[in-house]
Chains A and B, each alone.
Chain A
């Protein structure tokens, strides 16, 4: 079955702009989580969506937001981009939310560069 699809793969934006990233989970998976990876801070949890509802949120400013559609596809939005937002953004797909005894499936990521 198809894996987790993230689009676009690469993105270059200017400071102050906004950006929208997309994630299509594995068919049948209803939970999508987003992570930011930077050399300085490593991998950090942004938020999780399940059944179109945000279930969990990490410690990021309000400029970072997301949503999930009825087909489980998710988008994350970053407004008023800053240079420090340059990162690899990863989404992870899972069948359900909460604690469970199997791993997550990650997409290949979107590499965002803010200039």
Chain B
């Protein structure tokens, strides 16, 4: 079974806009990771945030983590057409437990 839920399931934005997606999880975590998947291909690791961190940045990506609410968010700023993909959060407890994913479409 999956660890949690992601919200929204799908997101359509204009190039240049920001995209925000949320992830909730059920159990205590060691860390939480975000992955991107293009068109049913392999997953690409984007960013990892430890359970004792509240916010982390990597390029145009910003991830927050609220362990009291068991939730995380991923913000992609100044989106590009190449950001069109599905995004998954995953908790890491000797194996990855993934959310259902958010499908992001960036319109040119």
Residues of A within 8 A of B81 (CB): none
Q: What is the distance, in angstroms, from A47's C-beta to the closest C-beta of chain B? A: 9
- Does the CB pair B97–A106 fall under 8 Å? no
Interface size on B, residues (CB 8 A): 27
Residues of A within 8 A of B46 (CB): 103
Interface size on A, residues (CB 8 A): 29
Which residues in window 54-95 of A have CB below 8 A to B?
55-56, 58-59, 88, 90, 92
Q: What is the distance, in angstroms, from B12's C-beta to the closest C-beta of chain A? A: 20
Q: What is the distance, in angstroms, from A29's C-beta to the closest C-beta of chain B? A: 14
- Does the CB pair B98–A105 fall under 8 Å? no
Is B43 engaged at the interface, CB distance under 8 Å to the other chain? yes
Residues of B within 8 A of A42 (CB): 2, 98-101
How far is B43's CA from A55's CA once the two chains are assembled, in angstroms? 22
Chain B: residues with CB nearer than 8 A to chain A? 1-2, 30-31, 33, 35, 40-46, 48, 50, 88, 90, 92-101
Chain A: residues with CB nearer than 8 A to chain B? 4, 6, 33, 35, 42-45, 48, 55-56, 58-59, 88, 90, 92, 97-99, 101-109, 111
